[in-house]
Amino acid sequence: MGDHFQTLVDLDASPQDAPRLAERVVAWLVAEGLVQAELLPDCVYGLPLGRMPGPNWHRAVAPQDVRFGPGEGLAVHTERTVFHGGQGTLEAVHCPRCAATTRLHDGRNMVPETWGPFLLAVDTWYETGAADVDCPTCAERVPLPDWTWHDDYFAFAHLGFQLWNWPPLTTEFRTRITGLLDGHRTTYLQGKL
Ligand SMILES: [Zn+2]
């Protein structure tokens, strides 16, 4: 048993947008009774404070999953963050320009020739907020956040709502949160520590 997490990531929020949108979503979640208003220590990983489930938390999950909850806290990330799927293998990445698939793993290990430039770019993006990788197939220079990751492994963004040890959120619930985000694109990552 490990700790499971799921993250709804806003892919388009700028560093300036993120706190305002976070506040809007949290206000809605609290008003609906899905999480508690009070920030508490030690109920999430990765941030010092989180919010515990509210009395109506079960409305965010499928009826058959209610017996697996409620889980722990909600962490709201409003800083530049490399969101990832935790465990599992990062097998490949897809170029948004030419749609070619670049394999990053050979079945046993990461492939240094293909993974190396991406790893470097992940570090650079985290430090500076910008990084590009040349596509090995079409040679286009593509910003790191634009690549499509196998199994939605990574998201490079400034706003993410991360729930710890909750049953999976329903699609309907995720759509309602997305509706509060000014028409931004979102992605949904699930992982385990
Ligand atoms: Zn390409």
**33: Cα within 13 Å, side-chain hemisphere:** 4
Residues 6+ apart with CB under 8 A from 54: 29, 30, 32, 33, 34, 35, 36
Q: Tell me: cis bond preceding 70? Omega within 30 of 0 counts.
A: yes
For 131-149, letters b (16+ CB in 10 Å) and e give: bebebeeeeeebebbebeb
CA of 106 to the centre of ligand 1 (A): 20
The rounded Å distance from CA 176 to ligand 1 centre is 34
| Ligand 1 midpoint to CA 96 (Å) | 7
137 CA from centroid of ligand 1 (Å): 5
Nearest to 6 by CA among 52, 59, 71: 71
Burial label for 64, CB within 10 Å (0-12, 13-18, 19+), is: exposed
pTM to 2 decimal places: 0.92
Question: CA 48: distance to chain centroid?
Answer: 18
CA 13 to ligand 1 center in whole angstroms = 25
Instruction: Give residue 134 CA to ligand 1 midpoint distance, Å.
Output: 8
What is the residue-level pLDDT of the chain in tens, covering all 193 positions? 588 999 999 999 999 999 999 999 999 999 999 999 999 999 999 899 999 999 999 999 999 999 998 899 999 999 999 998 866 789 999 999 999 999 999 999 999 999 999 999 999 999 999 999 999 999 999 999 999 998 889 999 999 999 999 999 999 999 999 999 999 999 999 888 8
Ligand 1 centroid, distance to 136 Cα (angstroms): 7
184 CA → ligand 1 middle, Å: 25
Q: How far apart are the CA of 24 and the centre of ligand 1, in A?
A: 37
